[in-house]
Amino acid sequence: MAGPGEDDDPTLTGDTRIIHRARKRYLRCKSWYDEAYKRSLDDTKFANADDRNKWQWPDKIYADRDNKRKPCFTINIVQPANRLVINEALQNKASPRVRATGAEATAEAAEGMQTLIERTENISTATIAYRNVITQQIDGGFGFLCLETKYVNDKSWDQDVYVRAARDPRAVYVDYDTKEPDGSDAGFGFEFEKVPRDRFNREHPRFKDKVGESTLGNDALWLTDSHVLVAMYYEREAKNDELITFVQADGATFNGHRSQIEKDSGPEIVDKLIEQIDNGEIDGRYRDVITQSVNWYLIGGDCILKRGDKDGTRWIGEYVPLIPCWGIKTIIDGKFDCKGHTRAQISPQQYLNYNASGQAQFGALQTKTPWVGPARAFESNEEQWGKANIEDFAFLAFDDWVQDEGEQGRAVAKPERVEPPQIAPIFAKGMEDAERMNMMATGQFQAQRGMEDQQSAASGKAINARQRQGNVATYHFT
């Protein structure tokens, strides 16, 4: 039985042990990331709100206003502000560069590696992947780049490496004990995917109708009659080894691991080699190392559908191929959170929507009738007065004297023009304040947004300075 804080249970065997280990790790990750992932979803919806989905209005407030037939405008200024950062990041794209430094590295080898990287980006349409992950990061706080291998075609045994963005970053979980920003020290990771049931049955006929109700405990919001939830689970396997370096008889230097030499020549040869190094008979040295390999398992329900945990089938690298792209990551009072460019704009945006809606409501409640007066003043020219709000007349005649039968005549007051509808200064000022609040919260002022800046000199130098100020404010995303 697994001890406290341990994921592995040595009393289990085979696939059951792997599933048990994966489930415990997933549930720990879910507990750690759950609140941040919920906030990320809310932020993403907020950034992509419009007048149809109303995602920028709290549900209770929107329901109350809608029931009372009050306007609920969505004037989304978050999305343009986010796009400025996204497009700036795309224009200044960071690309890996390989340089030959140290040991026996050569410029030719570095150039070959650089060519492989560029080819991978080309066949993967990596530009689209980068755009997607940056958008996820800015809107919702984080995104994930995923590496995978695929066969070149259905008649080849050759494989290529592809890079792509996770379709839903909140369906990816990586080891939260990592310390490196790129997650290179992650011990495991998961990527969940909803697969149409007919495709699942075609790709995994042996498991048709055998997959359980839950995949690693993630079920209620995922499984439907038409889809099956699967998880790609990666885990690093660490092994103790020795790095051995020595000069061979022909003068060439050998550098390799004990495990590989034992596999090629046998353990007796390695022991003899170590003895000769210790005695000074061979010029060499050795030290203890820990080697890493990455196993992968495609899990559906409580079944392992596919696996790569043997030589020739493992992941080709030593790192889990799930690369996090975090926004502003914080751990405060033991709680993880990660936010993008949207979070700081929520209050200014809601303030703008409320004031714009209030302005429209204020105007709608004002009278649209241009003239008011005694009913008797309109009797003889009622047709023209009835059209006075839609047609232009040179003059409008009215009855200024009336006399009923048997009564003395009397004067009738003339119709008076009603003041046209007025805007509410409080709402207009509120909309201006909301725009200014958004600029203060994001650090993006008029110059960076392509607007005329009334608060600074109109010289080119001043405009560039204000643009640099905005770029610096959002540089942590780019």
Q: Do residues 415 and 371 touch, judged by C-beta distance below 8 A?
A: yes
Tens digits of per-residue pLDDT, 248-288? 888 888 899 999 999 888 999 999 999 999 998 899 999 99
Identify whether the C-beta of residue 385 lies closer than 8 Å to the C-beta of residue 377: no
What tokens does 30 get? 């879910």
313 compared with 469, residue with greater pLDDT: 313
Q: Burial letters for 79-106: b for 16+ Cβ neighbours within 10 Å, e otherwise?
A: bebbebbbebbeeeeeeeebeeeeeeee
Asked if residues 76 and 349 have their Cβ atoms less than 8 Å apart, the reply is yes
463 or 255: whose pLDDT is higher?
Answer: 255
Which residues 6+ apart lie within 8 Å of 140 measured at CB? Answer: 40, 41, 43, 44, 47, 169, 170, 340, 342
Poorest-pLDDT segment among 272-286, 374-388, 422-436, 454-468: 454-468
Please give the average per-residue pLDDT across 132-157, as a whole number: 93
Cβ contacts of 456 within 8 Å, gap of 6 or more: 447, 462, 463, 465, 466
- 277-317 residue pLDDT tens: 999 889 999 999 999 999 999 998 888 999 999 988 999 99
Cα 24 to its chain centre, rounded Å, is 26
DSSP state of 370: S
Query: In terms of DSSP H, where are the helices of 266-381?
Result: 267-279, 346-364
* Section 59-76 average pLDDT: 93
The pTM assigned to this predicted structure is 0.81
Over 50: is that where the pLDDT of 222 sits? no
pLDDT digits (tens, 9 = 90+) for 33-46: 999 999 999 999 99
Measuring CA to CA, how many Å separate 359 from each of 38, 39, 78, 97, 353?
Answer: 33, 30, 20, 54, 10
Instruction: Tell whether the model's pLDDT for residue 337 goes beyond 50.
Output: yes
Distances (CA, A) of 161 to 103, 116, 122, 131, 193: 27, 9, 11, 19, 20
Which tens digits make up the pLDDT trace of 443-462?
877 655 655 555 555 566 66
DSSP structure class, residue 218: B
pLDDT category of residue 371 using cuts at 50, 70 and 90:
confident
Dihedral over Cα of 92, 96, 97, 99: its sign: positive
Token digits of residue 196: 């149409």
Find the range with the poorest average confidence among 151-155, 232-236, 296-300, 472-476: 472-476
Q: Which residue is associated with the tokens 């992932």?
A: 37
Strand partners, 258: none
Q: Report residue 98's pLDDT band, with 50, 70 and 90 as the boundaries.
A: confident
pLDDT at 156 over 80: yes
Q: How confident is the model at residue 347 (pLDDT cuts 50, 70, 90)?
A: very high
Residue 250 has a pLDDT of: 87
What is the rounded distance in angstroms from the CA atom of residue 16 to the CA atom of residue 21?
A: 9
Query: What is the C-alpha to C-alpha distance for residues 197 and 396, in angstroms, rounded to an integer?
Result: 74
Structure tokens belonging to residue 375: 């009913």
In angstroms, how far is the first alpha carbon of the chain from the final one? Answer: 47
Question: Per this entry, what is the length of the chain?
Answer: 478
Confidence of residue 75 (pLDDT cuts 50, 70, 90): very high
Instruction: Please count the other Cβ atoms lying within 10 Å of the Cβ belonging to residue 215.
Output: 27
Is residue 100 very low, low, confident or very high in pLDDT (cuts 50, 70, 90)? confident
| SS3 assignment for 412-427 | CCCCEECCCCCCCHHH
> 437-471 b/e with 16+ CB inside 10 Å = b?
bbbebbbbbbbbbeeebeeeeeeeeebeebbeebb
Q: What are 105-128's pLDDT values in tens digits? A: 788 888 888 998 889 889 988 899
Rounded to 10 deg, the angle between the 126-140 and 78-91 helix axes is 140
**In this structure, are residues 245 and 253 in contact, taking their beta carbons and an 8 Å threshold?**
yes
102 pLDDT higher than 80: no
Can you give the pLDDT at residue 107?
A: 86
Q: What is the model's pLDDT at position 448?
A: 56
What pLDDT is recorded for position 60? Answer: 95
Beta-bridged to residue 332, according to DSSP, are 335
pLDDT above 90 covers a percentage of the chain that reads 47
Residue 209 has pLDDT above 90, yes or no: no
Q: According to the model, what pLDDT value does residue 5 have?
A: 57
Which pLDDT does position 288 carry in this prediction? 94
Report the pLDDT value the prediction gives residue 465, as an integer from 0 to 100.
63
55-69, 218-232, 353-367, 397-411: least confident range: 218-232
Does the pLDDT value for residue 220 go beyond 50? no
